[in-house]
């Protein structure tokens, strides 16, 4: 099952909070946190290499607004797990948007120690509802035993079939996958459909015309060829 949201206008240029406002409404507290976050990225970029240097001048559109598209695609979700968080796009963006929401929280997973330290700094200084785990994604399920999430996000991390493997413990428990995908998504989707069943809705990216944010629900492994479903792993 699939759906597609194509009623979007690509955001061509915006160098401040207007880029975020074009994606979703934000209040003054969110604005202040976004400004402080961008200042911290710029401050630490020379020593942490947080984002591609060529994208830094366009940080509001390429990173902050792009990151906000994850939450905009699933605004009812309050508890998020963000995989391969990097500099915090979209994980810290989501945490800023949830900072005033009762029960809102984001768990960010980043194996790079320098980037994880940056995430900790931002979460602490901006008083965000965020928990940072500095570990490999493969090691996270045992650390999060008993934790349930409403959404799992990832941006520029891996192909769709690999993302489903990473996120499987939470997706099969009822979380929805919210993933940024690029121009190769059609091929990735065909490949993933060989091993996985899922319902999918596409949202056209407001940032890159060839990209989209996809929301997956009812994710399950398909039975391996020649084996009954209960034996498929």
pLDDT digits (tens, 9 = 90+) for 77-113: 999 999 999 999 999 999 999 999 999 999 999 999 9
Give me the pLDDT at residue 15, please. Answer: 65
> What is this structure's pTM?
0.89
| Arch. (CATH architecture) of 2-231 | 3-Layer(aba) Sandwich (3.40)
Give me the pLDDT at residue 2, please. Answer: 55
Per residue of the chain (233 residues), give pLDDT as tens.
555 554 445 555 456 899 999 999 999 999 999 999 999 999 999 988 999 999 999 999 999 999 999 999 999 999 999 999 999 999 999 999 999 999 999 999 999 999 999 999 999 999 999 999 999 999 999 889 778 999 999 998 999 999 999 999 999 999 999 999 999 999 999 999 999 999 999 999 999 989 999 999 999 999 974 444 443 33
Phi-psi domain of 25 (left: phi exceeds 0; alpha: psi -120 through 50; beta: other): beta
Give me the pLDDT at residue 3, please. Answer: 59
Kindly report, residue by residue over 46-56, the tens digit of the pLDDT: 988 999 999 99
Distance between start and end Cα atoms, the chain: 23
Structure tokens at 24: 């979703």
- 208 Cβ partners below 8 Å, 6+ apart? 10, 66, 182
Residue 161 near residue 188, CB atoms below 8 Å: yes
Give me the pLDDT at residue 225, please. Answer: 46
Q: How far is CA 61 from CA 21, 23, 58, 69, 226, in A?
A: 11, 10, 6, 11, 48
Give me the pLDDT at residue 213, please. Answer: 97
């Amino acid at each position: 099952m699939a759906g597609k949201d194509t009623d979007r206008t690509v955001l061509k240029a915006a160098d401040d909070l207007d880029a975020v406002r074009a994606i979703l409404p934000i209040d003054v507290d969110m604005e202040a946190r976004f400004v402080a976050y961008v200042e911290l990225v710029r401050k630490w970029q020379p020593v942490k290499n947080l984002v591609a240097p060529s994208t830094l001048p366009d940080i509001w559109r390429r990173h902050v607004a792009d990151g906000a598209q994850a939450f905009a695609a699933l605004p009812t979700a309050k508890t998020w797990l963000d995989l391969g968080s990097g500099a915090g796009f979209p994980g810290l963006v989501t945490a800023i948007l949830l900072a005033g929401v009762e029960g809102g929280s984001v768990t960010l997973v980043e194996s790079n120690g320098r980037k994880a330290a940056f995430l900790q700094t931002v979460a602490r200084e901006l008083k965000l509802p965020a928990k940072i785990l500095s570990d490999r994604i493969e090691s996270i399920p045992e650390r999060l035993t008993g934790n349930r999430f409403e959404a799992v996000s990832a941006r520029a991390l891996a192909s769709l079939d690999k993302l489903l493997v990473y996120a499987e413990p939470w997706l099969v428990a009822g979380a929805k996958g919210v993933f940024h995908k690029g121009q190769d998504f059609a091929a990735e989707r065909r490949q993933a459909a060989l091993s996985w069943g899922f319902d999918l809705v596409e949202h056209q990216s407001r940032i890159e015309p060839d990209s989209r944010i996809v929301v997956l629900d009812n994710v399950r492994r398909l039975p391996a060829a020649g084996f009954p479903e209960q034996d498929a792993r």
